[in-house]
Amino acid sequence: MLINELSKRTGLPIHTLRYYENYGLFEGVTDV
């Protein structure tokens, strides 16, 4: 799932999702 799609689904800003991703709270998110 693209991180921008996840942002749309969750309503969270992309930078917030990247912050969580960097801390390993979820994996497998890519941004092409």
State pTM to two decimals.
Answer: 0.49
Note the pLDDT of residue 23: 76
CA-nearest of 26, 23, 24 to 1 is 26
Domain-wise residue ranges, the chain: 1-27
Host H or E run for residue 15: helix 14-22
Burial class (CB in 10 A: 0-12, 13-18, 19+), 13: exposed
Are 29 and 3 in contact by the 8 Å Cβ rule? The answer is: yes
Q: What is the pLDDT of residues 1-32, one digit of tens each?
A: 687 888 899 898 988 888 877 777 666 555 54
